[in-house]
């Protein structure tokens, strides 16, 4: 790819390296680059495009709104677009689920919602400590970064994490109910854990490797928080908005959090984030927490349009059908490669294929991209393929994308097997001076797929 802006953009860019193309247009679950090549999208804007690219209903509503000179920016002033979104959200999402929340609009990104929720929990409880979990991902601003488990994103100069304790997520310790660890630490004055203001968690850790918390574990955490008057905050930024199979991911467990953070797809593909707050915990003073772009009226318009999907229970059925197709294909792949230790996990329409090796997953995502499929890896070692197509993807396109992915997986695994079993055509000559202390060892470069040699000095001198 001839990247026209690489010389001018910061080194921090990431997805431009993973998907080296200059994209020009997109509709539904298909993206097209400048050369006219089409790609099936299993990446979904990292979860911000649950309803696909340029959703027809949202697009029509936006064009009409802009043509009518609708308000574009309004901070937190009342506009027709904002009122229509709030009413639609209340009528379509909250009321049918018997949920009573106030809405706080916090800005364009998910981390804005996280910062606001944590700040409010500390204010309301009068405490300063927060419990998060291993492999969590909550954002990159300093407060949300402190809650994030992946050390790749941390730097010693980024600030103190003294008021955050990371406890083991469900399944982190095999065979151990980690909610009981949390409960014991709260009762044990020798644990070193202060009584926290809040517990924050993702019910499915998307960036952490598609780690799914059990419903029973979630209920235990919710009960512990209730008993100790700790605010339970659910980060539904990536796995809310239908990604888990229900609008809110916590619905599966039958719990009602004190606060819920939403972003990504809540804006119908446009920047928007909000915190849902139980009324009794909404102790903000007017103007105490603000944000310039918390009044993105274009996002309100798009959001109200895509919420129409949830007016019928059939949408959940469609999500479940598509999710089953992904799960069944992943389970088939894993069963065929049991010797590789490949496993499957997920829920709804977010599924992970744990390949046990970051280099292997990277090779597969690169091969898939060459074959016309966008898919990313997740987990602290980038060892999990994360399939996250739009909830609205056509069945035939979903199956076509899975076919591309499976072919890429088979190609990479076959190449691994070929290289690992290939004999050296010429015996490696070991220099006489090295025979006493430095064996020459064949190695496999999993990035290039080439067999090479290295020497390992085992001497103590």
Are 370 and 301 in the same domain?
Answer: no
Does a structural domain hold residue 374? yes
Are 116 and 259 in the same domain?
Answer: yes
Does a structural domain hold residue 184? yes
* pLDDT band at residue 449 using 50, 70 and 90 as cut-offs: very low
Are 383 and 262 in the same domain?
Answer: no
Q: What is the mean pLDDT of residues 87-113?
A: 98
pLDDT at 298: 98
Q: Is pLDDT at 459 greater than 70 in this prediction?
A: no
| Residue that is last in its domain, among 276, 311, 346 | 311
Instruction: Dump pLDDT digits (tens) for 127-186.
Output: 999 999 999 999 989 899 999 988 778 776 666 677 999 999 999 999 999 999 999 999
Output the six-digit token pair for 379.
């987990």
Are 356 and 439 in the same domain?
Answer: no
pTM exceeding the 0.85 threshold for the entire prediction: yes
pLDDT at 7: 87
Three-state SS letters, the chain: CCCCCCCCCCCCCCHHHHCCCCEEEEEECEEEECCCCEEEECCHHHHCCCCCECCHHHHHHHHHHHHCCCCCECCCCCCHHHHHHHHHHHHHHHHHHCCCCEEEEEECCHHHHHHHHHHHHHHHHCCCCEEEECCCCCCCCHHHHHHCCCHHHCCHHHCCCCCEEEECCCCCCCCCCHHHHHHHHHHCCCCCCCCCCEEEECCEECCCCCEECCHHHHHHHHHHHHHCCCEEEEECCCCCCCCCCCCCHHHHHCCCCCEEEECHHHHCCCCCEEEEECHHHCCCCCCCCCCCCCCEHHHHHHHHHHHHHHHCCHHHHHHHHHHHHHHHHHHHHHHHCHHHCCEEEEECCEEEEECCCHHHHHHHHHHHHHCCEECEEECCCCCEEEECCCCCCCHHHHHHHHHHHHHHHHHHHHHHHHHHHCCCCCCCCCCHHHCCCCCEEEEEECCCCEEEEEECCCCCC
pLDDT at 5: 84
Contact 406, 334 (CB under 8 A): no
**Whole-number Å distance between alpha carbons of 175 and 384:** 22
Q: How many CA atoms lie within 13 A of 135 on its CB side?
A: 24
**Whole-number Å distance between alpha carbons of 4 and 9:** 10
What is the domain-level CATH number for residue 148? 3.40.640.10
Are 235 and 378 in the same domain?
Answer: no
Q: Is pLDDT at 424 greater than 80 in this prediction?
A: no
- Name the domain count of the chain: 3
Does a structural domain hold residue 230? yes
Are 294 and 394 in the same domain?
Answer: no
Tokens 């298909």, located at residue: 30
Residue 142 vs residue 69, higher pLDDT: 69
Does a structural domain hold residue 321? no
Does a structural domain hold residue 386? yes
Q: What is the mean pLDDT of residues 398-420?
A: 93
Are 306 and 370 in the same domain?
Answer: no
Q: What is the mean pLDDT of residues 89-106?
A: 98
Are 352 and 228 in the same domain?
Answer: no
Say how many C-beta atoms besides its own lie within 10 A of residue 278's C-beta.
Answer: 17
Residue 440 vs residue 83, higher pLDDT: 83
Q: Is pLDDT at 432 greater than 70 in this prediction?
A: no
pLDDT at 159: 65
Contact 236, 260 (CB under 8 A): yes
Q: Is pLDDT at 440 greater than 70 in this prediction?
A: no
Are 346 and 297 in the same domain?
Answer: no
Q: Is pLDDT at 426 greater than 60 in this prediction?
A: no
Q: What is the mean pLDDT of residues 252-268?
A: 98
Are 80 and 165 in the same domain?
Answer: yes
**Whole-number Å distance between alpha carbons of 335 and 333:** 5
Sheet holding 350-354, edge to edge: 343-347, 350-354, 384-387, 376-378
**Whole-number Å distance between alpha carbons of 415 and 411:** 6
Say how many C-beta atoms besides its own lie within 10 A of residue 54's C-beta.
Answer: 14
pLDDT at 421: 66
Q: Is pLDDT at 450 greater than 70 in this prediction?
A: no
pLDDT at 71: 98
Q: What is the mean pLDDT of the chain?
A: 91
* pLDDT band at residue 250 using 50, 70 and 90 as cut-offs: very high
pLDDT at 365: 98
pLDDT at 423: 57
Q: Is pLDDT at 418 greater than 50 in this prediction?
A: yes
Output the six-digit token pair for 408.
């890429």
pLDDT at 157: 64
Are 126 and 223 in the same domain?
Answer: yes
What is the domain-level CATH number for residue 404? 3.90.1150.10
Q: Is pLDDT at 355 greater than 70 in this prediction?
A: yes
Q: How many residues make up the chain in this entry?
A: 461
* pLDDT band at residue 419 using 50, 70 and 90 as cut-offs: confident
Q: Which of 380, 376, 408, 370 is nearest to 389 (CA)?
A: 376
Q: How many CA atoms lie within 13 A of 54 on its CB side?
A: 9
Kindly report which listed range (50-64, 281-295, 447-461) carries the lowest average pLDDT score: 447-461
440 is in which domain, residue-wise?
428-461
Give percent above pLDDT 90 in the chain.
82
Does a structural domain hold residue 15? no
Does a structural domain hold residue 10? no
Instruction: Dump pLDDT digits (tens) for 295-338.
Output: 999 999 999 999 999 999 999 999 999 999 999 999 999 999 99
Are 171 and 204 in the same domain?
Answer: yes
Does a structural domain hold residue 12? no
Contact 291, 65 (CB under 8 A): no
Kindly report which listed range (142-156, 193-207, 354-368, 438-452) carries the lowest average pLDDT score: 438-452
pLDDT at 124: 98
């Amino acid at each position: 790819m001839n990247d026209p802006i690489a010389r001018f953009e910061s080194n921090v860019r990431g997805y431009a390296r993973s998907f080296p193309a200059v994209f020009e247009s997109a509709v539904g679950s298909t993206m097209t680059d400048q050369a006219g090549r089409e790609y099936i999208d299993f990446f979904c804007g990292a979860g911000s495009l649950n309803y696909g690219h340029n959703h027809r209903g949202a697009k029509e509503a936006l064009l009409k709104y802009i043509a009518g000179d609708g308000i574009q920016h309004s901070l937190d002033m009342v506009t027709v677009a904002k009122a229509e979104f709030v009413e639609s959200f209340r009528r379509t999402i909250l009321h049918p689920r018997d949920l009573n929340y106030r809405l706080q609009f916090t800005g364009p990104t998910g981390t804005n919602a996280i910062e606001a929720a944590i700040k409010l929990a500390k204010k309301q409880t009068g405490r300063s400590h927060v419990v998060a979990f291993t492999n969590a991902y909550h954002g990159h601003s300093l407060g949300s970064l402190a809650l994030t488990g992946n050390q790749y994103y941390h730097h010693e100069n980024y600030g103190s994490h003294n008021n955050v304790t990371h406890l083991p997520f469900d399944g982190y310790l095999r065979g151990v109910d980690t909610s009981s660890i949390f409960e014991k630490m709260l009762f044990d004055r020798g644990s070193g854990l202060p009584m926290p203001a809040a517990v924050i968690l993702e019910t499915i850790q998307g960036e952490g490797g598609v780690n799914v918390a059990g419903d029973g574990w979630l209920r235990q955490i919710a009960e512990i928080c209730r008993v100790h008057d700790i605010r339970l905050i659910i980060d539904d930024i990536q796995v809310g908005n239908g990604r888990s199979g229900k609008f809110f991911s916590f619905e599966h467990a039958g719990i009602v959090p004190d606060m819920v953070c939403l972003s990504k797809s809540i804006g119908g593909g446009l920047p928007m984030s909000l915190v849902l707050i139980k009324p009794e915990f909404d102790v903000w003073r007017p103007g105490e927490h603000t944000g310039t772009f918390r009044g993105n009226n274009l996002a309100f318009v798009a959001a109200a349009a895509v919420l129409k999907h949830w007016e019928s229970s059939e949408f959940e059925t469609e999500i479940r059908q598509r999710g089953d197709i992904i799960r069944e294909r992943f389970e088939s792949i894993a069963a065929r490669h049991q010797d590789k230790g490949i496993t499957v996990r997920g829920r709804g329409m977010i599924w992970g294929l744990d390949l046990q090796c970051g280099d292997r997953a990277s090779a597969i995502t690169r091969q898939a991209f060459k074959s016309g499929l966008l898919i990313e890896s997740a987990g602290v070692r980038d060892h999990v393929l994360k399939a996250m197509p739009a909830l609205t993807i056509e069945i035939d396109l979903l199956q076509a994308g899975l076919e591309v992915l499976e072919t890429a997986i088979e190609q990479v695994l076959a190449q691994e097997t070929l290289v690992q079993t290939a004999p050296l055509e010429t015996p490696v000559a070991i220099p006489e001076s090295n025979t006493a202390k430095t064996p020459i060892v064949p190695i496999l470069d999993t990035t290039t797929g080439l067999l090479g040699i290295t020497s390992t000095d085992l001497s103590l001198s």
